[in-house]
Amino acid sequence: MVAKSENRFIRLNFITIIVTLLVVLAGGIVRSTGSGMGCPDWPKCFGQVVPPTSAKQLPADYQEKYVAQRLAKNERFAKTLEKLGKADLADSIRNDASIAQPEAFNVAKTWTEYGNRLVGVVTGFLMILLVIYSFAFKKSAKRIIVLSIINLIVVGFQGWLGSIVVSTNLLQWIVTVHMLLALVILAIQIYTYNYAKQLHKERSVIMYRIAWLKGFLFFTILVSVAQVILGTEVRESIDSISKSLQFNGRNTWVSKVGSLFNYHRDLAILVAICNFVVYKMVTDRFSGKAWPLQTANYIMITLVVQVASGFLLSYLALPPYAQAIHILFATILFSLQYYLYLLVYRTATYKPN
């Protein structure tokens, strides 16, 4: 029997996973609408807890003020990179002229970015509660406590990295790391959620061999992560192209990305094939209301939405709504694949005595 305190952790963990996915969606909306610099400072927005609704509420020299603050923060970051032996990268940040360009106030972009930050703050508070609730497992599963604390630290680092993303004007490699850390946070949340749920349950046993499914599913997850990295790099390339064209000629941006986009498109085919194979392997081994089968069904639905949004991005000149959907469902796909892997990992093949 599961204790009430443990059930409370499980429920809160599930809610936190959903809210974290909302953070990804909010980040996708920010990215697709070009609102990343809607708030030029961090954690406040234009120095205020609640951002302004008109330029009249800002001081006359607000642009110069926040550029100066941004340059000072970037100089500190560059010095840190130099200590880590990344002198070339530090110089590239110092010499990036776009960082010194002031951002004009845009109320829509400001409140879009502010909404993103609010969801992030909610996630942070939920992660703190998860650490507190995790102590329900101090006798039965200390790893849940340890992982919850580690994840809170990662979330804190992610928040700091978000401030660097803002101060460096969306520096490309930092945006990629920011996305990968979101996957790490989700993976830890999903692991602790599943581990807590399965703690008092017997290991599942089926009549079919499970080793091939475990191995191929792990490979599929790796391919999906590689696809996320490529997709982030494609997005970064499009950001550079759009800026160079002063955000004109939107229908030409994809064609200017070059071979990187082709790699992303071709790898998408491999991702689809791998997931179809996983689905077939799961349906051959599980039936009824088994959670692995239900999760595999969710994966196929997610894959369809992901592929459809990819087509929209490719052939309809990158509509912003499709960009946000594409990022969200790529993250959901990874989350479901990882959850399926955890379920399958605890499944064994029946061996008669």
Looking at the fold, whether 1 and 23 belong to one and the same domain comes out as yes
Looking at the fold, whether 47 and 192 belong to one and the same domain comes out as yes
Judged against a pLDDT cut of 60, whether residue 353 lies above it is answered with no
DSSP 286-321: --TT-HHHHHHHHHHHHHHHHHHHHHHHHHTT--HH
Looking at the fold, whether 159 and 255 belong to one and the same domain comes out as no
Instruction: Report how far apart, in Å, the C-alpha atoms of 173 and of each of 169, 177, 242 are.
Output: 12, 6, 17
Judged against a pLDDT cut of 60, whether residue 213 lies above it is answered with yes
State the pLDDT confidence band at 345, using cuts at 50, 70 and 90.
Answer: confident
pLDDT tens digits along 157-171: 888 887 777 667 666
This prediction has a pTM of: 0.88
Cα gap 33→116, rounded to integer Å: 12
Looking at the fold, whether 28 and 117 belong to one and the same domain comes out as yes
Indicate the SS3 state at residue 161.
Answer: helix
- Domain holding 279: CATH number? 1.20.120
And the tokens for 259? 């071979």
Looking at the fold, whether 196 and 209 belong to one and the same domain comes out as no
Judged against a pLDDT cut of 80, whether residue 120 lies above it is answered with yes
- Beta partners for residue 131, in sequence order: none
Distance in angstroms between the alpha carbons of the first and the last residue of the chain:
29
Domain encompassing residue 316: 202-353
Helices marked H in the chain: 4-32, 62-83, 87-94, 107-134, 142-167, 172-198, 211-244, 253-257, 259-285, 291-315, 320-345
The predicted structure's pLDDT at residue 95 = 79
In this predicted model, which residue has the larger pLDDT, 209 or 114?
114
Residue 131, C-beta contacts closer than 8 angstroms, at least 6 positions apart? 145, 148, 149, 152
Looking at the fold, whether 3 and 132 belong to one and the same domain comes out as yes
Looking at the fold, whether 193 and 226 belong to one and the same domain comes out as no
Q: How many distinct structural domains can be found in the chain?
A: 2
pLDDT tens digits along 50-82: 888 888 888 778 888 888 887 888 888 888 888
pLDDT tens digits along 237-265: 887 787 778 778 888 888 888 888 889 98
And the tokens for 278? 């996983």
The domain boundary residue, chosen from 167, 201, 235: 201
Looking at the fold, whether 210 and 298 belong to one and the same domain comes out as yes
The domain boundary residue, chosen from 201, 217, 245: 201
- Residue range 288-301: mean pLDDT, rounded: 92
Q: How many CB atoms lie within 10 A of CB 294?
A: 15
Looking at the fold, whether 232 and 335 belong to one and the same domain comes out as yes
Judged against a pLDDT cut of 90, whether residue 38 lies above it is answered with no
- Residue range 41-45: mean pLDDT, rounded: 78
DSSP 227-244: HHHHHHHHHHHHHHHHHH
Judged against a pLDDT cut of 90, whether residue 143 lies above it is answered with yes
- Residue range 274-292: mean pLDDT, rounded: 90
Indicate the SS3 state at residue 256.
Answer: helix
Looking at the fold, whether 193 and 229 belong to one and the same domain comes out as no
Looking at the fold, whether 240 and 317 belong to one and the same domain comes out as yes
The domain boundary residue, chosen from 201, 220, 243: 201
- Beta partners for residue 349, in sequence order: 206
Looking at the fold, whether 210 and 296 belong to one and the same domain comes out as yes
State the pLDDT confidence band at 276, using cuts at 50, 70 and 90.
Answer: very high
